[in-house]
Structure formats: C-alpha cells, structure tokens
Amino acid sequence: MLWLGFIRVSEWNVDDVEYLDLLSIVDPIEEKQRIQKYKFRIDSKRSLAGHLIIRQKIKSEYGGNFKLCRTKENKPFCKFKQPIEGVCDFNISHAGDVVIVALLKSSLSSPKVVGVDIEHLILRGNTSLGEFLNDMLPSFDPEEQKCILQPYRDAHPKALVTQLTLTASDEVVQNVKIRFFIHWTLKESFIKAIGKGVYFPLEQAVFKFDSNEENILNCRPQLYVENKHMLNWEFKSCLLDNEHIISVAVGPANDENVSESLINCLCGSIAESPNSH
C-alpha cells in the first residue's frame, strides 16, 4: 500500500516558540542537528515538516515504538523496537512551497522500496530555460534529450537550445520545462528508492516514453539501467500545481541496484512469518 501526503509550508503558521517546541520532539539528535543546520528558516521549516508528517503517519500505522534513522548512504528508514508484519519504507522530498512524504507498506514475500522527488518549476535567479538546459542536458542520454526538446525542435528544428526562451512560444517553453523536470524527478525518485544517493550516477538511469504521445504525463515511463530494461519498477509523475512536479518510484527491495545497507536496515522492520515454523 502506497500513501502520499503533502503540506504547503506557506500555510503552516508556527511562531518561534512553537517551532522550538516541535523541534524538541525530533529524534535522534543527529536529525535535529540536520534540521537546524540550514541557513534559512524556511529550509529548516520544510525539513521539520517532513520529519513530523512521516513520524505521525508511522505512529498511526504501527504505534509509537520506533526510531527514525538513516543508512550510511543517508536514506531515512524506520527502526522498530519490536518486529512488525511486512516491510515499511518511506521517503521525503521538498521544493518550493511543498513538502511531500511517501510511505510504502509491502509484504514479507514481496518487499518493496519507495522513492519520491518534487521539483519547483520556477528557475532560480535570472537563468533562462535555454541556458539552464544547455548546462544540464549533457548529463542526459541522447534519447532523453530528444524527448525533452521535442516540442521545441518540432517548431524550431535548427535553433540553438540557448535561444529557446527567445524564439519559442510560452506554451512550448512550459512543455519543454515540464518534460525536463519529469525526467529529472523520475531519476531522483529511483535513486532515492534504491538508497544510493550521490553514489549512483544520474546518467545510468535512462527513461523512455512513447514518442507518439504528446503529453508524456499520460505515458508509463520505462526505465533502463546500463541498457537493461527494469520491468519490475513502477513510476508515476504528476503536476501538483502549476509550479511543482512530483515523481514516485516503487520497486523490489531485492533489485540488484538497491543498496545493501538499505536492505539490511529494512530487515529490522520485517517480522518473522507466522508460517515459518
């Protein structure tokens, strides 16, 4: 069972006293320090919100006898003080005004992992989309680049990518931007699901779509890792609003790409099967 929850930070009104009270219940101390290290309060507020949401959800599902921890590659997981039935994995992401949390409950016979990523469609600073893509696309597979730029190439087959915002219509610019962030969040959600973080090269995960479908949000993404089709993985992307895009990845915990440390940590949430004797 997959559960998704989100909060708009701008609508979460807490004063300094309330913020410190909520921060005081964060455990372990390393997680509290992680939240406090942010330079800007809005960033620490997003991190705190994600922690509190997932803590409350796990408590509602399993009771309060657990501790939130991290693997050596930094993926958060839940360490239960008593065995539970099945497997519990979760993931958190925040960008712009939104914090999103995913919790996945799966069976002992078919344990699964989950990753979620959200990105803000508003580019920072004065960087144009063309300049942004010119810097980012070289790390993408040629087929992915073609898919991302297809709306622009259809209208301007010979124009430079850096000229995109100068030559293309607003509709084409928005379509290209959405296509880029769909690919980006899909890659991030997969890498977060397998628990390898920065240790897994972004370019190794390649996503392919039906080239005949104009709106790729209607397509089922197909993942290839080092040219191997990963048929056991499921992905979904959607626009939360006009400024945020979300992707979720769900796949088998025994996948060859899943971090060994994550598998070992998840074993702490697996109860012994009642039929094992």
Residue 218 lies in a domain: yes
Domain contains 277:
no
For residue 77, list its beta bridge partners. Answer: 69
pLDDT score, position 194: 98
- Name the one residue in this structure whose structure tokens are 């991030």: 188
Contact 103, 58 (CB under 8 A): yes
How far apart CA 111 and CA 105 sit, in angstroms, is 8
187 and 247 assigned to the same domain: yes
Structural domain boundaries, residue 208: 129-254
Q: In the chain, which residues have pLDDT < 50?
A: 270-277
- Would residue 275 count as lying in a domain? no
Residues 112, 142, single domain; the answer is: no
pLDDT, position 158: 83
pLDDT of residue 268: 57
For residue 212, the domain's CATH number is 3.90.470.20
My answer on whether 150 and 198 are in the same domain is yes
Q: What is the pLDDT of residue 271?
A: 40
Q: Provide the total of helices (H) and of strands (E) in the chain, helices listed first.
A: 8, 11
* One domain for residues 231 and 139: yes
- Specify whether 109 is located in the same domain as 146: no
- In this prediction, residue 275 carries a pLDDT of 40
134 and 64 together in one domain: no
Identify the pLDDT of residue 155. Answer: 85
- Tell me if 235 is assigned to some domain: yes
DSSP code of 161? G
Q: Is 273 left (phi over 0), alpha (psi -120 to 50) or beta?
A: beta
Asked whether 195 and 259 are in contact (CB, 8 A), the reply is: yes
Total structural domains within the chain: 2
168, 195: one domain: yes
The whole-number pLDDT of residue 273 equals 38
> How far is residue 19's CA from residue 21's CA, in Å, rounded to a whole number?
5
**pLDDT the model gives residue 88:** 95
On whether both 41 and 99 belong to a single domain, the answer is yes
Helix (H) or strand (E) run with residue 115 in it: strand 112-120
84 and 166 share one domain: no
Burial class (CB in 10 A: 0-12, 13-18, 19+), 147: buried
Residue 274 lies in a domain: no
Domain assignment present for 217: yes
